[in-house]
Structure 1
């Protein structure tokens, strides 16, 4: 179990950042982070879980358990039978160190699985509930400390950040591929068709009596019109924001098949399916099936024979459309399966591209198989799409610039400033934190938002040294005042020279803003201990409600003050000196713990007082966490 004491206190935190910043896929890095969390928290397993309370669904997306274990990756349970349901219901962290002795012995989760120990933290994706990061142990243990719940919170936030990045990257890739597909397909097909139109129209000018030319022109014009219609359909599908609804797809496929064969009397189509197959689908699903059946009829044999098979498989449903035509060209197979486009894989149109995008929006896959007997295209759709509620895609125009999309959609506040320390760009999140419209902030000096007593010149000199040398990014904690008058304490990281003459600042609120209410309420306000957060010089940044209520104080009475000058430490000059000495030693990296007598609103109390330094990856103390536990009665009993 990790106590947070001693010279190695920061090691797990550093290792966690190293893991999440390391090599590998999202799943690999998340698995390593969960394994580290399980080790630190003395748990038997760690999981990233996807939850859906509407369907009572629970799925282990990433797990540290082996494939033959009970809670292996991919396992699905009823949410009602898990402790995670309490996290989802309360939207807050849930801790259990000994479920039966905490009156959870009749809980459905304990009845179903018998786990004594659980620490679960909510995870959000695009500000919507996604699931939980949870750590589970078979046997009971001591109560979780504040340090341990803070560490679990950090694991969840880092995994949440990477989950958002994964989704945004996928969205940007899809939109970029779409833009490339549209550009290449339209450029190729329109150019070729217009060339034919121009040539035959010219011939018509010299031989107006040949009506065959008219037919060729009309055919090519019709091709352009069809291509234009499909391009429009594809854009509508990509920007569709309708949520999936549970639907029996069998009658949908039957109706589409009947309609297509009615238009092509020479074609024979047969549907092989169970009586009922229910899937969560969007309105665009029908368009994909129609396109595939229509494609099979058009490119089948002389009297095409089409077979449509709907087959439930494990956790998914396969829909297979088979024709008896000459076979799908290899380039078209690559295009429909990967969504990638090159100058040689522009395809003959947008129909199959449309299918690929629709299936992708359903979290499904498309595969094609070509034999001497024809082509079979198989769509596989999951019964419960992992990202069904999170795959809304914004304007297609953002695909023109990947950097701008990532910048605008980032959950972190990002500011770009120049060599004169003036803001040249910022994302919407930064505008919110700075308390003004983006356009009103452009051109402002960074120093405009800092308090008068902040030594900006010294901070700027440190940044210049990092910029001019080979040092790593500059990190610090500072309080600033936004244009809305709100004081905010933030942690910032500067990245020099992202392009010549321009530098990036990433800003994360620590407390006092709407962004952090979930995290810090858990850390500070849901504990019976006195807990705070302060700078290395002893200036208080935050204090929890327990400490404020004991002292009869308001937050404004203590935030911004030196800890030893606050009302808690006015019992005597000796108490103030002891508190100041403890801060000075902690600022040097030492963990401090001792008994102190402090003043409350209506009584004095003896507290088990400690200060834990929080360091960065270079060992510099960035924050101090003071904590106190009321031990008055215990000490009094010892004396007696």
Structure 2
């Protein structure tokens, strides 16, 4: 299969060389009048050029091994069709008493004419198949984005309403309460305004992630180290450990480091940093979706776990009641991982805490940018 993907137009080129050989060989081996010989030679030469050019165009379609095999079958069938058709006509002429001229030559040229016709069929089939797959991918992506936007929009509206309701209550206290309570109320209002600003910023980042199709190769170990360094600079008491030291290269969205950092931040947000431990494990050749071309990242904390309502809301597209406290951090993680072509799973640990598992497609280490 690797040979077919490396040389997708091999069948085209073999037929082109064969047709070229028929043209040259016929010119050398026969002593027909020059104008007849020229005509009989030019036809297979032109066919060889056409078939070879079609092979070059076929390569540009970047066909899969399955497409290459199908094209080889179609080209061979085209040859048999063309040669068989000419042979049938010649047989009828013979039965009718006519004296066929150059029967073998006509059969061979007819075969390569069939190949030329078959290349059109082959290219149409491959281009149609690829376009169909592309449209299917676009439809699936549009459906996924619609689902994500629906959930995100509902959660964002929910949080904004809650924050505004809280701010309204504290503003009333700030305007009508005693001096001490009014000062506290003003501080609470400012704090919740900061939360609204942070909420808006997170929503903007999610929108940017969902609208960006770019993927790049990166060392996931380096992303984890930078994320751990960032979170520990804010919360020095948090212990982040990982056993992986060698580079592990994946193909992912450029904001993968931000998603990993957000995972750490979620663990800190829902637990006491003084007692929090975060362990990161990386399985470089994890089997997923019947393939081992995946990297699995498990980020496990020892806290009380992410509230179940947040995990459920991450997948729930129905307009059901949401509980206060559902944030956007998990949506950001999910958006980055899915835009990387991977999947994310969030599940509680038996011993307490939460594991955020990310599946990401592996990449060739030589392609690391």
Q: TM-score range by the shorter chain?
A: 0.5 to 0.7
| TM-score, length of structure 2 as denominator length | 0.66
C-alpha displacement of 1:177: 2.4
Match of 2:184 in 1: 212
C-alpha displacement of 1:360: 1.0
C-alpha displacement of 1:359: 0.8
- Measured in 2, the distance between the counterparts of 1:150 and 1:195 equals 66
1:325 to 303, 311, 322: 303
C-alpha displacement of 1:162: 1.8
Task: Look at both structures and tell me which one has the larger radius of gyration over its CA atoms.
Answer: 2
- Measured in 1, the distance between the counterparts of 2:17 and 2:192 equals 76
- Measured in 1, the distance between the counterparts of 2:58 and 2:335 equals 27
1:168 aligned onto 2:102: no
Match of 2:275 in 1: 303
1:381 aligned onto 2:352: no
Match of 2:4 in 1: 83
1:307–1:122 distance in 2 versus 1, CA, 3 Å: farther
| TM-score, length of structure 1 as denominator length | 0.39
Maintained 8 Å contact 1:365/1:379: yes
C-alpha displacement of 1:248: 2.2
- Measured in 2, the distance between the counterparts of 1:182 and 1:370 equals 23
1:280 to 251, 276, 288: 251
Query: Could you list the per-position Cα deviations for residues 555-579 of structure 1 after superposition, in whole angstroms to 9, with x for gaps in the alignment?
Result: xxxxxxxxxxxxxxxxxxxxxxxxx
2:12 to 95, 105, 127: 95
Maintained 8 Å contact 2:152/2:331: no
1:263 to 226, 234, 242: 234
Relative contact order, CA 8 A, sep 6+: which one is greater? 2
2:332 to 340, 349, 354: 354
1:235 aligned onto 2:210: no
- Measured in 2, the distance between the counterparts of 1:157 and 1:242 equals 24
Greater mean alpha carbon deviation, residues 206-215 or residues 318-327: 206-215
Give secondary structure in 2 for the equivalent of 1:83.
helix
Larger strand percent: 1
- Measured in 2, the distance between the counterparts of 1:255 and 1:192 equals 34
Maintained 8 Å contact 1:242/1:282: yes
- Measured in 1, the distance between the counterparts of 2:16 and 2:284 equals 39
Match of 2:68 in 1: 134
Match of 1:155 in 2: 125
Maintained 8 Å contact 2:61/2:127: no
Maintained 8 Å contact 1:273/1:311: no
Query: Could you list the per-position Cα deviations for residues 231-287 of structure 1 after superposition, in whole angstroms to 9, with x for gaps in the alignment?
Result: 11112222235441x322212211210120121122111122141212233321111
2:262 to 291, 295, 305: 291
2:196 to 224, 239, 251: 224
Give secondary structure in 2 for the equivalent of 1:326.
coil
1:196–1:333 distance in 2 versus 1, CA, 3 Å: closer
Larger helix percent: 2
Alignment of 1:467-616 (within 5 A): none
1:214–1:123 distance in 2 versus 1, CA, 3 Å: farther
1:179 aligned onto 2:149: yes
Match of 1:343 in 2: 320
Maintained 8 Å contact 1:310/1:319: yes
Maintained 8 Å contact 1:96/1:102: no
1:122–1:226 distance in 2 versus 1, CA, 3 Å: farther
Maintained 8 Å contact 1:363/1:382: yes
Give secondary structure in 2 for the equivalent of 1:381.
strand
1:228–1:342 distance in 2 versus 1, CA, 3 Å: same
